[in-house]
């Protein structure tokens, strides 16, 4: 079972984006793909839950799904949304990352 923590600010921002895109019952797909200076990058998109996906987070308005391949790399992550002068956007804190690049967009496991 994969567990993802979604902070209130990240949840609110995801729901705001979903509303703008016409998503009435959004499922946010969180995944890992090859790329970046450390070898792996995070991805997020609105999608439907597929057979084999794990529900990593669920409340009355938002579900986060993770595919089987990404699950071991995403178990225990925290998704946050920052809004500041130096940095704005989604930030993923991953306890499974052995190394991250300076921009925080890629990691190695």
- The domains of the chain, with CATH numbers, are 5-108 (2.60.300.12)
Q: How far apart are CA 51 and CA 13, in angstroms?
A: 27
Q: How many CA atoms lie within 13 A of 65 on its CB side?
A: 17
Q: How far apart are CA 108 and CA 39, in angstroms?
A: 6
- At residue 99 the predicted structure's pLDDT band, cuts being 50, 70 and 90, is low
Say if residue 106's pLDDT is above 60.
no
Say if residue 107's pLDDT is above 70.
no
Q: How confident is the model at residue 23, as a pLDDT?
A: 86
Question: What confidence tens digit (pLDDT) does each residue in 29-83 have?
Answer: 999 987 766 578 889 999 988 888 999 999 999 999 999 999 999 999 999 999 8
pTM across the whole model: 0.85
Report the Cα 57 to chain-centroid distance in Å.
Answer: 10
Q: Are 44 and 62 in contact, with CB atoms under 8 Å apart? A: no
Say if residue 105's pLDDT is above 70.
no
Q: How far apart are CA 11 and CA 106, in angstroms?
A: 22
Q: How far apart are CA 4 and CA 38, in angstroms?
A: 22
């Amino acid at each position: 079972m994969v567990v993802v923590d979604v902070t209130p600010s990240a949840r609110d921002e995801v729901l705001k984006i979903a509303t703008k895109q016409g998503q009435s019952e959004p499922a946010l797909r969180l995944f890992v793909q090859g790329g970046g200076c450390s070898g792996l990058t995070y991805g997020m998109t609105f999608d439907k839950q597929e057979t084999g996906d794990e529900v990593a987070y669920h409340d009355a308005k938002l579900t986060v799904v993770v595919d089987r391949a990404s699950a071991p790399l995403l178990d225990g992550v925290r998704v946050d949304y920052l809004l500041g002068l130096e940095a704005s956007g989604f930030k993923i804190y991953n306890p499974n990352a052995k190394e991250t690049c300076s921009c925080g967009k890629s990691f190695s496991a």
